C-alpha cells in the first residue's frame, strides 16, 4: 500500500492506494491512485507494468491521480470503475463482475451508499487467501459519510448487510489501517447507523426542524471541520426517514 500525502479530517492519514499482485505475477493492478500528487504518482508508476487501474468511487481524493497516472504508464492502461464516464479503454464494472488481473481473481460488489457509484472488490490470490477492498464504504478508523445527495442511506444499509456476510475477510480500506474482519466491522457500522437514526428521530421529536438543528442535537461537540460532513449525513438520514 502506498499512502498519498493528503491527510485531513475527511481523509484520515491520507488516501490508501493499493498495489496488488499475486506472488507469482510480474504485473500489478493499482486501486485508487489518489490525488494528483507528483511524488505519489511517481512512486506508483515505479510498480509498472500495470495491468489495470481500478477506482472505487468518484471522489477526487481517489480519482484525481487516475488520468495523470495512466498518462505516465503510456495511456493505454485500462481504467475500470462502476461509473462509465470514469472508465478508459474498458467497460464499466457491474455488480458480480469477475476480473482476473495480476494473478488475482477479483469480484466486484456494488456498494452504493457513500456514493452511488461505490464498489468493493473481493480479491483472492493463488493460495486462496482473500481480502476485500472497501474504498470509503468501510474505513480503517471511525465511520464513513453518506454523502447526500449522491449518497443514499437506505442503499448504504443494504450494502453493509451484504458486507456483513464477509466474515473473517480482512479489510483493505481507502483510508486508515487495515482491519481483520469485514463481517464484524460491517455489523458494527450497521449498529452505529441504527443508533444515529434513533438520535435523528429523537432530535426531530424534540423539535429540531432544519438539518442544521438536527446536527447540533446529534453531534453536540463536533470538530467544526466535520460540520459539512455531518450535515450531509443528517440530510441522508432525513431523506431516509422522510422520503420526499
User: Judged by CB, which is closer to Zn ion: 69, or 144?
Assistant: 144
User: Judged by CB, which is closer to Zn ion: 11, or 208?
Assistant: 11
Q: How far is the CB of 220 from Zn ion (least distance, A)?
A: 26
Q: How far is the CB of 87 from Zn ion (least distance, A)?
A: 18
Q: How far is the CB of 113 from Zn ion (least distance, A)?
A: 11
The strand ranges marked E within the chain are: 2-3, 16-20, 28-31, 50-54, 79-80, 98-101, 104-110, 119-124, 130-135, 171-173
User: Judged by CB, which is closer to Zn ion: 51, or 136?
Assistant: 136
Q: Tell me: does residue 175 bind Zn ion (CB under 5 A).
A: no
Q: Tell me: does residue 59 bind Zn ion (CB under 5 A).
A: yes
Q: Tell me the Ramachandran region of residue 229: left when phi exceeds 0, alpha when psi lies from -120 to 50, beta otherwise.
A: alpha
Interface stretch with Zn ion, choices 15-23, 53-61, 189-197, 227-235 (CB under 5 A): 53-61
Tell me which residue of 206, 213, 196, 200 sits closest to 242, measured CA to CA: 200
User: Judged by CB, which is closer to Zn ion: 103, or 151?
Assistant: 151
Q: How far is the CB of 75 from Zn ion (least distance, A)?
A: 26
Q: Which of residues 117-136 bind Zn ion (CB under 5 A)?
A: 136
Tell me which residue of 50, 56, 42, 47 sits closest to 175, measured CA to CA: 56
CA–CA separation, 160 vs 189, rounded Å? 7
Interface stretch with Zn ion, choices 17-25, 52-60, 67-75, 220-228 (CB under 5 A): 52-60
User: Judged by CB, which is closer to Zn ion: 28, or 30?
Assistant: 30
Q: Which three cell numbers stand for residue 174?
A: 481507502
Q: Which three cell numbers stand for residue 172?
A: 483493505
Q: Which of residues 132-171 bind Zn ion (CB under 5 A)?
A: 136
User: Judged by CB, which is closer to Zn ion: 13, or 124?
Assistant: 13
Q: How far is the CB of 168 from Zn ion (least distance, A)?
A: 26
- Packed helices 182-205 and 153-163: angle between N→C axes, nearest 10 degrees: 150
Q: How buried is 112 (Cβ within 10 angstroms: 0-12 exposed, 13-18 middle, 19+ buried)?
A: buried
Q: For residue 92, report the phi and psi dihedrals to the nearest 5 degrees.
A: -75, 160
Q: How far is the CB of 206 from Zn ion (least distance, A)?
A: 31
Q: How far is the CB of 132 from Zn ion (least distance, A)?
A: 17
CA–CA separation, 51 vs 171, rounded Å? 23
Q: Tell me: does residue 58 bind Zn ion (CB under 5 A).
A: no
Residues that bind Zn ion (CB under 5 A): 59, 136
Amino acid at each position: 500500500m502506498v499512502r498519498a500525502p493528503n491527510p485531513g479530517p475527511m481523509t484520515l492519514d491520507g488516501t490508501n492506494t493499493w498495489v496488488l499482485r499475486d506472488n507469482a505475477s510480474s504485473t500489478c493492478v493499482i486501486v485508487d491512485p489518489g490525488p494528483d500528487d507528483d511524488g505519489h504518482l511517481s512512486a506508483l508508476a515505479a510498480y509498472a507494468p500495470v495491468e489495470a487501474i481500478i477506482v472505487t468511487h468518484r471522489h477526487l481524493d481517489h480519482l484525481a491521480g487516475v488520468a495523470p497516472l495512466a498518462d505516465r504508464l503510456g495511456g493505454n492502461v485500462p481504467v475500470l470503475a462502476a461509473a462509465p464516464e470514469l472508465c478508459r479503454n474498458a467497460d464499466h464494472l457491474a455488480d458480480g463482475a469477475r476480473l482476473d488481473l495480476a494473478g488475482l481473481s477479483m469480484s466486484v460488489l456494488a456498494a452504493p451508499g457513500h456514493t452511488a457509484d461505490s464498489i468493493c472488490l473481493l480479491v483472492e490470490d493463488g493460495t486462496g487467501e482473500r481480502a476485500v477492498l472497501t474504498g470509503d464504504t468501510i474505513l480503517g478508523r471511525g465511520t464513513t459519510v453518506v454523502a447526500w445527495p449522491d449518497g443514499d442511506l437506505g442503499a448504504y444499509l443494504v450494502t453493509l448487510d451484504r458486507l456483513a456476510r464477509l466474515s473473517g475477510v480482512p479489510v483493505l480500506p481507502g483510508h486508515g489501517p487495515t482491519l481483520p474482519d469485514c463481517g464484524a466491522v460491517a455489523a458494527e457500522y450497521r449498529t452505529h447507523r441504527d443508533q444515529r437514526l434513533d438520535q435523528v428521530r429523537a432530535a426531530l421529536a424534540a423539535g429540531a426542524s432544519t438539518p442544521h438543528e438536527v446536527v447540533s442535537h446529534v453531534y453536540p461537540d463536533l470538530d467544526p471541520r466535520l460540520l459539512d460532513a455531518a450535515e450531509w449525513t443528517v440530510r441522508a438520514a432525513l431523506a431516509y426517514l422522510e422520503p420526499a
